[in-house]
Every structure is written in structure tokens, then in C-alpha cells.
Amino acid sequence: MSYETISVESRDAIEILTLNRPDALNALSVKMTEELNDYFGGLQQRSEVRVVVLRGAGRAFCAGLDIKEHRSGSDDEPVVASYKTQTEIGNIYRKMRSCPQPIIALVHGAAAGGGLSLALAADVRYGAPSLKMNAAYIRIGLGGCDMASSYFLPRLVGASLASEMILTGRFITADRALRSGLVSEIIDEDGLLDAGLAVAEEMLATTPWGLRLSKQALNLNIDAPSLDHAMAIEDRQQIVLGQMSDFGEAMTAFVEKRKPVFKSK
């Protein structure tokens, strides 16, 4: 894969996806939006990739929309251009949630607006002490609910902090992000990648289909209308996985105190 605004490094079954517009604080340009849609959309068919680590180059994770470019770069009617921008960037987050691979976001510096949503759409988030996150939309004359922030934030941090962030656009820093559960841990920036890769390696110790279906079940059950609905999804998952050869191998390896060798892809 050859991209201009993002880079992809493969480490066996892990891919490190780096937002690579450091001079623009990794702001979401038209080209980056196209490339992120291409990358995350393609993961459905790439079973050899089991975990994705997402990070930003330079001083920031992602400063959000590249406003200068989007204001001057379209020949469409303004309302059409706005609709295209909303849809195309929004599709990135849809694809991040629907791809079967867990995504680990490593956030340093600013994660603002659409950059915040990139972090929110990941499955696991680690932050550096420099982290600062905000739902910037209301500060530029728009509504505060944008790019799935009104979906992700209340589910991750509760209604009060979500409302504070969305209605003011104020930044929260690393300590508060950790206390609220928005990130799992704060790690010195020099160790951030190693921490993300360590978690990814733990995920690789699971069966390929067990990992995929666990992400799927979490996605479905966060919106489950009842306990019975949630447990029905869990029951289906366990019955399916329990019939696969990897289940027997995992059980045998556990008893024999050795590393399992899985055959599924």
C-alpha cells in the first residue's frame, strides 16, 4: 500500500498506522480522508492483519479538519461540499467500528474535533502527558455534536462530562482523560508505542476468530436493548467459537502450559 498522508508499517499480524502530516498537526485533509477510508475499508478483507495501532507523527495526534483546505478546495455548491465532507469523514469512524481488527490509539498532543473522534472510534486508547482533547465544533460556529461525538462520548465518559465537552468545546488534559476512563493509561511519550504494541501482542495470543467476534459483540452490546439481547449475542458467539478447532487447541495448550498454535485465519 502506498499512501501520501498516512504511513503503514507491518509487524507480523500488527500494523502501525501513522497519520503523517506533521507540519499540519495531522489535520484531516481531503487526501488523508480518502486514504483513511481506503485503509480502514480494506481491513475487512485482510485477515492477515489482526490488530491496528493508530498514532500521529510530530507534535500532535490529529488537530481535526483542515479548515483552510476545505474552505477553498471545492467547486461544489457550499451545501453539497459540506454534505460530502460530513459523509466522507464520518465514514472513517464507521469503518473503524465495523472492521474486525481491534484498533489501539496512541494519543499525544492535540486530538481535536475529527481527531478526537479518531481516538474515540478506536477500541483502546493510551495517552501521553501532553494529551489534550476537545470536541471543537461548537467553537467554530457549528453545533457541538459532530463526527459521532454525541454517540461515543456519553458511552465512554457519561452524560455530564460529555455534555461539558460538547457544549463548551473546552479541552480536557491527560489527568482528567484518565480519571474519566477516556484513556486506559497515561504513558511517557517515548514509551507510548511500546505500550501499544505490548497490548497488541496480548491480543495476538487469542484465537483469530475469538478476537474478531469479541469486538463485534462489544459493538453490538453497547446498544443492546436488554440483558437478554446481550446474552443472546454472547451465547451465539461462544457456541460458534466452541465448535472451531482453535478452541480445542487453546484448551490443550492451557493444560500443557505451552503457547497455542492456531490454524484459523
* Per-position DSSP letters for 112-129, written without gaps between them: ETHHHHHHHHSSEEEE-T
Model confidence pLDDT, tens digit, residues 216-264 = 999 999 999 999 999 999 999 999 999 988 888 888 988 988 888 898 8
Which CATH topology does 6-203 take? Answer: 2-enoyl-CoA Hydratase; Chain A, domain 1 (3.90.226)
Say what the pLDDT of residue 113 is.
93
Considering only residues 198 and 248, tell me which one the structure prediction assigns the higher pLDDT.
Answer: 198
H-helix or E-strand spanning residue 51: strand 51-56
pTM of this structure: 0.92
Among 11-25, 191-205, 244-258, the range scoring the smallest mean pLDDT is 244-258
Say what the pLDDT of residue 74 is.
61
CB 38 within 8 A of CB 2: no
Nearest to 55 by CA among 31, 30, 22: 22
Say what the pLDDT of residue 71 is.
56
Model confidence pLDDT, tens digit, residues 72-85 = 556 667 788 788 88
The whole-angstrom separation of Cα 142 and Cα 145 is 8
Mean pLDDT, rounded, for 161-178: 96
Say what the pLDDT of residue 91 is.
96
Whether pLDDT at 59 is above 90: yes
With the CA atoms of 174, 175, 178 and 183 taken in that order, what torsion angle do they form, in degrees rounded to the nearest 10? 0
Residue 8 CB coordination number (10 Å): 16
Whether pLDDT at 207 is above 70: yes
Mean pLDDT, rounded, for 139-164: 92
% of the chain with per-residue pLDDT over 90: 78
Whether pLDDT at 55 is above 70: yes
Mean pLDDT, rounded, for 210-221: 94
The whole-angstrom separation of Cα 118 and Cα 89 is 10
Tracing cell 476537545 back to the chain, one arrives at 134
The helix/strand/coil state of 224 is coil
Domain locations in the chain as residue ranges: 6-203, 206-256
Mean pLDDT, rounded, for 180-187: 97
Say what the pLDDT of residue 73 is.
56
Model confidence pLDDT, tens digit, residues 28-50 = 999 999 999 999 999 999 999 99
Say what the pLDDT of residue 187 is.
97
Average model confidence (pLDDT) for the chain? 93
The whole-angstrom separation of Cα 184 and Cα 196 is 11
